[in-house]
Amino acid sequence: MALEIVPEWMVNLEDEDVAFIKNFILASGSLKEVAHQYGVTYPTVRLRLDRLIQKIQISEETAKEPYIGLIKRLAINEKIDFETAKVLITEYKKSKGGEQECQ
């Protein structure tokens, strides 16, 4: 049995995100085709892809700060609102001695 190595950016993706990526690839990157497969509109699929891109970017950017990555993922997944995320990240940075504003 071969040992599978999962890239760091994939670790925080949900199963449905991986399935979306697979369907996107099998559709040769056609968002129109993916929309047809899921029975949704093109803008809905575009939004889903944009959120997936954000998740991957956050994973890459916050590898050194897992807490900040967690807060950003919660905001992207609409578990908390963006204003709450900003407050939590700002307070976390203050507690670590870096009073930088959250972006």
CA angle 43, 45, 58 (to 5 degrees): 110
Same domain, 77 and 87: yes
Q: Is 40 in the same domain as 68? A: no
pLDDT at 97: 80
The per-residue pLDDT for range 54-102, each reduced to its tens digit, is: 888 877 777 678 888 888 888 888 889 989 999 999 999 899 885 554 5
98 occurs within a structural domain: yes
Q: Are residues 69 and 103 in the same domain?
A: yes
Q: How far apart are CA 28 and CA 37, in angstroms?
A: 13
Average pLDDT, the chain: 85
What whole-number percentage of the chain has pLDDT above 90?
46
- Kindly report the CATH number assigned to the domain that includes residue 50: 1.10.10
How many distinct structural domains can be found in the chain?
2
Residue 72 three-state SS: helix
pTM above threshold 0.85: no
Specify if 2 maps to a domain. Answer: no
Same domain as 56, residue 19: yes
